[in-house]
Structure 1
């Protein structure tokens, strides 16, 4: 009986989990007017393919910005290729000292 209760509990808990990637990021997306007091110091390019190429390209660029020590990212351009199955984004990385 106890094994059934434990098994049922595990089944219910596993139903609440999600396979969606965690979207937490230490770099903030911003508009250019929000970072006028910040230093721009890098330009990054993100590439994405697969089911959600735009999201993958943006995440790729954000990871590059984080690795450089940036605090904010401003998107400049996005290009779609091969019938939207590939995306390239270009962004400027800023460091803001609040």
Structure 2
């Protein structure tokens, strides 16, 4: 539920779907616990990647569900940035 709500809040903030985000990370990164715990499974929660479909049963400490990603941070920071003197 938290991920769906986060996705819908993204729309309320003006973010569109980003279906390319799930192809941003290579397979070996999606099987790395260190990588997925830090970066998530896609660069944005606005993708429809629901789970880490690449992870295997023997992989350790893997994140399986999506979270806010670096693209979300960048998009919000850029979209709501204040530019003094340009009003």
TM-score (norm 2): 0.37
Greater fraction helix: 2
Greater fraction strand: 1
**Structure with bigger gyration radius:** 1
